[in-house]
Amino acid sequence: MINELKIAIAGLGTIGSGTVTLLNQQNDLLINRTGRHLRLVSCSALKMPTNLPLDNIPFFSDAREMIKTVDFDILIELIGGADDVALDIVTTTLKQARHVVTANKAMIAHHGHTLAILAEQTGVTFGFEAAVAGGIPIIKVLREGLAANSLSQIYGILNGTCNYILTTMRKSGREFNDVLAESQSLGYAEADPSLDIDGLDTAHKLSILTSLTFGTIIDFSKVHIEGIRNISTFDINSAEELGYSIKLLGIARHTENGIEQRVHPCMVPIHSSIGHVDDVFNAIVAEGPFIGRTLFEGRGAGAIPTASAVIADILDIASGRYTPTFGIPAKKLIPLQIASMKDHRSSFYIRLTVLNRSGVFAKIAAAFRDEKISMEAILQRRHVSDKEIIPVVITVHDTLEYLVLRVINRIQTIQEIVKSPYMIRMETLL
């Protein structure tokens, strides 16, 4: 008789529904791959869905009650949220020495180290392949496929909503708010899109990748975070003229000053490996001295791609494959030594909006001269509705960020500057 593995699911939204669908549709394949029958024994949600084959499967509206009542081997937590019910049921399940699989990047970003220690103390798996980049198996790649490497950096497009918005702005010439409203109507963005467009979702995922890449204790509080609300079509058109594309990136990089852990819009070369990744797709690049550069691209969200990652963790458990939660034992993870953003070095794009007055460019040039920052290019255009206002783009050669910020602070005091300057970092990615 085939040995069963009993599964309980908490949360039947997009990913939960996709997981139930895959468990049913791929049943024979999963048995062949593991030699075990993966049986759904219970599920929990605020209300019973009508579009899933859940006949005769015990249903609970309270996930806490489900894990108290049902006999199961694996809890699949797909409720979401860093705390509250999700954290309660995961903690309880791990303490009971039962496996947990989750897609909850916020919970991992805030409590991942504590949960990893608990899982390793009780000898069970705490799996979260689905928490980063949906159907791209980047967690397994970092924990196993690249385990022999000491990586120098990992970066990527980790939020499909933001990538869709920036892609559509570029292709259509429409402004941010218009494209955001469209993405909400299409279901790509939530009614409250702040988690995506303000960079928090990307930051949750990046903090996980940082820990896996560098063997550090996960520390979401040390992510530098900027979103895409201030990106305009003027910026996107100017970037194209300069040979760049604008992407929201999460970047973790080892430097002599510590580890950079930052999320913000970047100008990347159009023909770089990541510059052409458009629409809702994600892409992650890992770099190291032994492997050079590797690129992973695919669907970073959606019911079935993310459910595929959930099932991958279940198959590892069913097959008896075990790897420490963050690649090395949680007790051996080291505190994150973060590099200050003021020490970040790159080229920069600066957008200014100025009144067309004699002498204004001399004042701007003096600010750069006094900080010994070399300007690379200047783009100037007439404003469509007001010929007295001139949008200006200045790009500067490689320099330290704190010097650029000092220049911007000085420029803001110039009387002819009519809007706050806006800065985008330029990344020399291949």
* Residues noted as catalytic: 205
> How far is it, in rounded angstroms, from Cα 217 to Cα 212?
9
Q: Indicate the Cα dihedral angle 381, 383, 389, 390, nearest 10°.
A: -10
> How far is it, in rounded angstroms, from Cα 304 to Cα 318?
20
Q: Tell me how far the alpha carbon of residue 194 is from its chain's centroid.
A: 14
- The CA distances from residue 290 to 75, 136, 152, 293, in Å, are 37, 22, 10, 9
Question: Partners of 352 in the beta sheet?
Answer: 392
Report the DSSP pairing between strands 224-225 and 153-157.
unpaired
| Half-sphere exposure in the Cβ direction for 173 (13 Å, CA) | 0
SS3 341: helix
Nearest to 407 by CA among 355, 344, 341, 352: 352
Angle at 341 between CA 335 and CA 345, to 5 degrees: 120
Three-state secondary structure of 44-59:
ECCCCCCCCCCCCCCE
Contact 165, 183 (CB under 8 A): yes
> How far is it, in rounded angstroms, from Cα 139 to Cα 384?
48
Q: Residue 385, Cβ neighbours under 10 Å: how many?
A: 6
> How far is it, in rounded angstroms, from Cα 131 to Cα 165?
22
Nearest to 157 by CA among 295, 270, 287: 295
Q: How many separate helices (H) and strands (E) can be counted in the chain?
A: 14, 16
